[in-house]
Structure 1
């Protein structure tokens, strides 16, 4: 059977602190900003760039740019307003805020099998180790802060964060930090945990604005970046 071609995004930094770097992504969604979890991550002291400045989301064979910043994102010199969207084509250039860093958006075709092998290799190298890194979870009116990872979430009182929900098992999910990113590990053995409505295969990274559901029946959280998880249906308790 022929390998399915996969479109790979290339972000070529043409101006700014990352000038000269070329980043490649095959993810369905790419986040850009100062959050440590962003795919394209700018220095935290580059305040002109927002913590979550923009996103690029794949829609079939097209790519949609969404501006998330009050400082705007510029597509070929044209400003895109907050929550404004525009389709990208290979060769477009983007500027994050007026006078901010510039990148070129390019696409290329890779063989699906080779790309999947590389992805599995990256996930295999992720290690669950104790690290001093903050995490804040909001579930209903409950707000709990952690200073060290990993932590476990489940129905059991032995878990670091206990959730009394009919779809949550005693040991349901583990959250940890590695390679500069927050990760989620499914402990159910049933692929119960979903990110953006897609079941994960044992473990997966969390990116800003990702929705993490512990099951098809919930509960569901949104990852806000900077180690913050907020239950979606409890917006009245939002950070």
Structure 2
């Protein structure tokens, strides 16, 4: 029984907090679901009202017990700690995303 409980716990996403470095664009927001869409569209989970951000710019997903970042064919690109994201990549606590000209800080846990 204990093993089943541990397996279920391992599948739950680690809490993730996103903070826009342009404080007027979006407040900090904490997430516990396994998929988060970032973009300019107000229906996104973490909307960023900036013209350099695509309507559906990037996706964060929790799988293999890690958070992953993926660009969604954005116009101005997605960067992780200054590196262009061209394929899904693991993110860690303290990482910084750049979506167009907007910076976003990652806190995991």
Residue correspondence of structure 1 range 44-55 to structure 2 within 5 A? none
Q: Is the 8 A contact 2:18 2:106 kept in 1?
A: no
Question: 1:189, CA displacement in angstroms?
Answer: 4.9
Distance 1:209 1:146 in 2: 16
1:225 equivalent to 2:91? Answer no
For the pair shown, the structure with the greater C-alpha radius of gyration is 1
Contact 2:58/2:74, CA 8 A, preserved across alignment:
no
Matched, 1:135 2:16: yes
Alignment CA distance shift 1:191-1:179 (3 Å) = farther
Q: Once the two structures are superposed, what CA deviation does each residue of 1:171-222 show, in whole Å capped at 9, x if it has no partner?
A: 001111112211111012557001121111131111233221112xx21123
SS at match of 2:49: coil
Question: Normalized against structure 2, the TM-score is what?
Answer: 0.72
* Structure with the larger strand share: 1
Moved over 4 A (4+): none
- Give the structure 2 partner of residue 165 of structure 1: 50
- Give secondary structure in 1 for the equivalent of 2:43: coil
Secondary structure at 2:16's aligned position in 1?
strand
State TM-score, norm by structure 1.
0.36
1:152 is displaced (CA, Å) by 0.5
Root-mean-square deviation (Å): 2.1
Listed as ranges, the gaps of 5+ residues in structure 1 are 1-130, 227-239
Query: 2:76–2:99: 8 Å Cα contact kept in structure 1?
Result: no
Q: In 1, distance between residues paired with 2:29 and 2:108?
A: 16
SS in 1 for 2:108: coil
Alignment partner of 1:180 is 2:61? no
Equivalent pairs counted in the alignment come to 94
Distance 2:32 2:106 in 1: 17
Q: Which runs of 5+ in 2 are unaligned?
A: 1-10
Question: Equivalents in 2 of 1:147, 1:207: separation in Å?
Answer: 15
